Amino acid sequence: MKVSPEQLPLRFPRSFRPWAYTVSHRTLTLRSDGNEVAGETVYVRFLDVLAMQLRHRFQHLTIATAADPGAIDRFVDIPDRHSARYLRLTVTDGAHEGFVVCAVLDVSTGPPEP
């Protein structure tokens, strides 16, 4: 499911960790933990990623539009003509905050995987 900015923030009461990054497609995937107990695996995919700063694990996950995009913009140089098409997202568990700059945010579920 493609997530629009109006649907943010997203909150997941499960732990997540970075699962894969595909350089050629600039795709970052976070995957939920505890999938057998929950009965499903949750995948959060960031597509057309320009920049990211993430921890190795989030105890629970909240993704929101960045309250201060200026700090992110100082980290990554997005040409003005492309700026509007990119999302500046905070990725946090409440204690540790990171960010992702991407064009598309997608959430899907699948069968439980260990």
pLDDT tens digits, one per residue of 73-102: 999 989 899 999 999 999 999 999 999 999
User: What integer best gives the mean pLDDT of the chain?
Assistant: 95
pLDDT for the residue numbered 113: 84
pLDDT for the residue numbered 79: 86
Q: Does the pLDDT value for residue 114 go beyond 90?
A: no
Q: How far is CA 79 from CA 4, 9, 84, 90, in A?
A: 22, 26, 10, 20
Report the percent of the chain where pLDDT is more than 90.
90
Q: Do residues 32 and 18 lie in contact, with contact meaning Cβ atoms separated by under 8 Å? A: no
Q: Does the pLDDT value for residue 104 go beyond 90?
A: yes
Helix (H) or strand (E) holding 102: strand 97-102
Question: Rounded to whole angstroms, how far apart are CA atoms 19 and 4?
Answer: 22
- Give the pLDDT mean for 43-72: 96
Task: Please state the domain count of the chain.
Answer: 1
Q: In which domain, by residue range, is 100 found? A: 2-110
